[in-house]
Chains A and B, each alone.
Chain A
């Protein structure tokens, strides 16, 4: 099963989010970066699926040259190759990002499975997967926290798999997701796209040999300057925080009576 995973480089900020002077972006000069947690799970799932069923894992990212760092992290986790769609920035609107992803996919063999994170950890539009899948003619289900490939079960063309999904070229996937109304189960036949959420699995930490190998790996770079879509960012700001400072209830075990007073006041004991 050949899999392409689309990942995003996002700033890993702590207790405060610094903004640039013009208020247009997060000031990342003193910040580290990471793969969005949903996408990290997507990479992990892809590596496991490829290990179990064969196939190659390609990671693709849209961003500045530095986003190669996130591709290499995914390679260190076990992905086989990386594609950097160099747009100079990750601050694109969802339509433009989808266009850039498609530019990166254009020269890749069509994958059996296209994975996305459910929404990026920073902008959080949650649209890129759907827009790309539609352009590729692939079915997509989002918010997925469980994927099971019917292993070995490779029904004939058009056969109906056990879970009811009609398959055209073999593998079927059982994708589950939690919604407020309960768990929804989908039966997808590949090729398909899935947008996943953290909780799907516990991503591995890359091994040292993995990191060393990834460091030397060649990335394929595609340059792309997508047309902007209809949603334009005018500025970012921090919401007003009107919480007054915390009321100290004391130190250590001695604070217990004061804590229980508060619990009683709140009607909890």
Chain B
């Protein structure tokens, strides 16, 4: 059996395909969820069935009603012991990864995190061949996973295998599981909802500044540009380390990984640790005095120049065109979008 872990309550479509490709002909693909997952088991089962998953095991214990990495990981280790699957897959989300890591440690099994490719044995060894990302995606690591039960988390960027998935009636099986009472110690004690509104990871436009911005006050024009474009401000680690911006604005390996429609890098050189944070953006505009800077080479568009001149000039041009549009009486008449938007 190949087992899919649904700790987050979200069924990632790639997982059943990867699991199917790793399974032998008649081997079933099943799934496990926790009573506290937060989504009705029937809904999860319905979705999984569509991807050919034939059974959903829902594990229950009062300690599983609220999330706790140790309790959930312990429950998963027990389920792995019961079912004896050949492979166990989860998404690379924060919670899925955490639960799998705890289960792996408890079961004494290896775990491959952040896999972008997984394939079964090639040589009869029973090992999995896989590729995982390192350093946030700067490097790819080819590796071999050998274990009685193989555990892996699958990154969103995984190569989805082309395997037919026969829709199945996914049966729900509820089971009580033992959880050591002391594991209550790491249950979430309190939750604070995240602020609504645009965040760095979801904003369609990010206007980011690095050393070239020169100081905290240099970010004022970047704020203005971000607001104009319906986005937020980001920064490099140099800006964070100098105390110009809070760390939650940092883009990169040890900051936030973004995939914006447009990333504007102002005075940022493009070190790999920064690049991995912004490289998934659809378009990148670099503004830099140094035409040889890596960001200037790898971006989609490049402006050679001083941020302190270029950004104000861009803002002035945006204002000029908006005023022009308003002046000609075209604003907001023929389209519902805000004045000046998407007019070619």
Judge whether B186 and A186 touch: CB under 8 Å: yes
The reply to whether B110 and A184 form a contact with Cβ atoms under 8 Å apart is no
Binary flags per residue of A240-262, CB closer than 8 Å to B gives 1, else 0: 01010111111111111101101
Distance (Å) between the CB of A198 and the closest chain B CB? 4
Let me know if B248 and A199 touch, CB within 8 A: yes
Q: Which of B27-35, B47-55, B163-171, B336-344 contacts A (4 or more CB under 8 A)?
A: B336-344
Proximity bits, B166-207, A CB within 8 Å = 1, else 0: 000000000000000000011111111110000001001100
Alpha-carbon separation in the docked complex, A1 to B189 (Å): 23
Q: Give the CA-CA distance A124 to B138 in the complex, in Å.
A: 11
Q: Closest residue to A197 on the B side, CB-wise?
A: B254
Please determine whether A124 and B113 come into contact, CB atoms closer than 8 angstroms: yes
B193 adjacent to A182 (CB under 8 Å): yes
The number of residues on chain A lying at the interface, defined by a beta carbon within 8 Å of a beta carbon of chain B, is 84
Query: Given A134-B105, A230-B146, A256-B314, are A163 and B299 also a contact pair (CB < 8 Å)?
Result: no
Contact of B314 among A13, A125, A178, A259 (CB under 8 A): A259
Give chain A residues whose Cβ lies under 8 Å from the Cβ of B210. none
Neighbouring A residues of B12 by C-beta, 8 Å: none
Q: Is the interface of B mostly helix, strand, loop or mixed?
A: mixed
- Contact status of A229 and B110, CB under 8 A, knowing A14-B272, A255-B310, A264-B342: yes
- Complexed CA–CA distance, A141 and B305 (Å): 45
Min CB gap B106→A, angstroms: 6
Question: Which of B93, B194, B300 has a CB less than 8 Å from the CB of A182?
Answer: B194
Confirm or deny: A202 has a beta carbon within 8 angstroms of a beta carbon on chain B: yes
Interface residues of B in 129-162 (CB under 8 A from A): 129, 133-147
Which residue of the partner chain, among B147, B191, B269, B301, contacts A185 with CB atoms under 8 Å?
Answer: B191
> What total of A-B pairs shows CB separation below 8 Å?
257
**Structural contact, B318 and A263, CB atoms closer than 8 A:** yes
- A residues in contact with B73, CB < 8 Å: 130
Cβ-defined contact, B297 with A246, below 8 A: yes
Q: Judging by beta carbons under 8 Å apart, are B302 and A17 in contact?
A: no
Q: Is B216 an interface residue (CB 8 A)?
A: no
Are A14 and B110 in touch, CB under 8 angstroms?
Answer: no
| Partner-B contacts on A (CB < 8 A) | 13-17, 26, 36-38, 93-95, 121-127, 130-131, 134, 139-143, 145, 163-166, 178-189, 197-199, 202, 229-239, 241, 243, 245-257, 259-260, 262-269
